[in-house]
Structure 1
Amino acid sequence: MNSRYHEDDGQQPMHGFPRVAYKIAHDADRTGTIYRRFDRLASRNLLLLEAEIAELEGRQAEYDYEDRDRPNHPRVQESRSDWKTFEELANGAKQPNEVERMELAMTIRGKLREYHEALAAHQFLLNLERPAETTVKGMRDWFEARNTRFGRPQLWGRSEDRFRDVDDLVALRVPANQDRLSLFVLNNFGVFFKTRSSDGHTAEISERSVANAVALLSSLLSAAVLFGSMVSMCFVRNVYAVLGMVGGWTVLFAGCIGFLTNAKRDQIFAATAAYAAVLVVFVSGTFGGVPGAGGTATNCNCTQTS
């Protein structure tokens, strides 16, 4: 039997866990690292731990009532205020009651640690980003493909349904740009960014290509909103119409920032204020800030005359 480790020879691993692991590990963008959170089981486990600790809490309260209402050995009373005495009485087995109380204290310590670690882990998973819909669809189509030699999904048994509940999935890595514009390009024009995957049989969408396309589109859109507003106002002579156009272009800019990006509210306010300030400076420089006779401005020249 040859037990030597073979490097990747370019061939696909066998069906099952080896092939699924190979698919996830050789994803170029690492966005295929999608796993189940098991929300229902995690919630139930937290509830069971909570109930178990609640019982321990009740037992601790009973011990406290017993120690308060009955006379004890003087050192036992001392052990309620001094850990060293408590440890000596419990470890020496001189006081059976102290042994029980020490065992309870150690049990509570371990269960609380387990409970808090489970809470922190579940909170961390809940705060992770959801996988992109296109990534889930691509992985599901590959996972559930029926053209394998067995005519079944890549994994069998209960694992056949691992992609069925999208809300129970978590991605260890999601594309860096998950704004609405990126998702729009990904969902509607993803076919233009497909590349051959590592298995040589399926196609993947290149995250880098999508990011570059979205960056170019964002630059063109921002330039169009800025210079388009300036050019359009050069053809309007009525100062009130110009003010209305300033407001309209500002609203359009704020809408683009709010709906096409993941900018926060303070960032939207700052960007909109800066954009409005640019338009105000342009209008004041072009029209001199003074309307002409009859509420109209003088001839529109994009250079200020002396």
Structure 2
Amino acid sequence: MDVEIMASGRTGFPLLAQRISLSPDYESFIFRKFDRLSARNLLHLEGKLAYLEHKLDQADEQAALPTADNEARRSVRAWEAFEENAANPDRPEHMHMKLAEQVHETLKEYPALEAPKNRAFDVAHNQFYEDINDEFGHTKRQRPLLAGLAECRLEEGNRRDLVAVRRPADKDLLSRFLQDHWIFKV
């Protein structure tokens, strides 16, 4: 090994990358997935998008008020008016456009995936809440682990808007049936 390092002049990342790349069947291409960091990153993106959605909705409501000027109402209906008015930093459309651009950029990082199965949703729902116990250790209520706009991420109104990052591989019909309908679910 020392001879290999001395001969190539490489060590650390360069040497390990060279060794991994020499595998003809890519058998040694083994890397960490960073599931916890990926989950946290997606939670942060989800929270950021929920916040941006809220701010964008507020801007839309302001533009629809009877006190809004004609240009604001026109900007809600015509892209060219919106873009033209957004160029003026004194107009509310300027901030509205900045929000729209932030949404656009953030959505580039967010995966477009399929909806979760009912069982997976139930598991995620159970993980999302913590028990609040009374002085005797009895559960008196549950509260979400997150607060603010992210608190309602798993509410029924958002059900159609949810995605599953990693769907389990389809198994045979009996396994899927048992998994979805087993009475002793955890």
TM-score, L = length of structure 1:
0.33
Residues 61-115 of structure 1 deviation map (CA, whole Å, 9 limit, x = unaligned)? 211222223422212211111000111111134x521111111111111111121
**What CA distance in whole angstroms lies between the structure 2 residues aligned with 1:31 and 1:13?**
25
**What CA distance in whole angstroms lies between the structure 2 residues aligned with 1:60 and 1:18?**
47
Partner of 1:38: 34
Partner of 2:61: 65
Q: Is the 8 A contact 1:79 1:85 kept in 2?
A: yes
3-state SS, counterpart of residue 31 of structure 2: strand
Q: Is the 8 A contact 2:82 2:93 kept in 1?
A: yes
**What CA distance in whole angstroms lies between the structure 2 residues aligned with 1:28 and 1:65?**
60
Partner of 1:85: 81
**What CA distance in whole angstroms lies between the structure 1 residues aligned with 2:45 and 2:24?**
40
The correspondence for 1:106, drawn from 101, 107, 110, is 101
Partner of 2:19: 23
- Structure 1 residue 44: deviation in Å? 0.5
**What CA distance in whole angstroms lies between the structure 1 residues aligned with 2:68 and 2:62?**
10
* Structure 1 runs (4+) greater than 4 angstroms displaced: none
**What CA distance in whole angstroms lies between the structure 2 residues aligned with 1:92 and 1:66?**
17
Question: What are structure 1's unaligned runs of at least 5 residues?
Answer: 1-10, 121-263, 266-306
**What CA distance in whole angstroms lies between the structure 1 residues aligned with 2:78 and 2:64?**
16
The structure having more radius of gyration, on CA atoms, is 1
**What CA distance in whole angstroms lies between the structure 1 residues aligned with 2:24 and 2:59?**
59
**What CA distance in whole angstroms lies between the structure 2 residues aligned with 1:84 and 1:36?**
47
Question: What are structure 2's unaligned runs of at least 5 residues?
Answer: 1-6, 114-170, 173-186
**Percent pairwise identity:** 33
**What CA distance in whole angstroms lies between the structure 1 residues aligned with 2:17 and 2:91?**
54
* Aligned residue identity for 1:49: L
- Structure 1 residue 28: deviation in Å? 2.7
3-state SS, counterpart of residue 34 of structure 1: coil
* 1:1-306 → structure 2 map (5 Å cutoff): 11=7, 13-93=9-89, 95-116=90-111
**What CA distance in whole angstroms lies between the structure 2 residues aligned with 1:22 and 1:32?**
11
How many residue pairs get matched?
A: 111
TM-score, L = length of structure 2:
0.53
Q: Which one scores higher on RCO, CA 8 angstroms, separation ≥ 6?
A: 1
Q: 1:105 to 1:80 in 2, by over 3 A?
A: same
Partner of 1:148: none
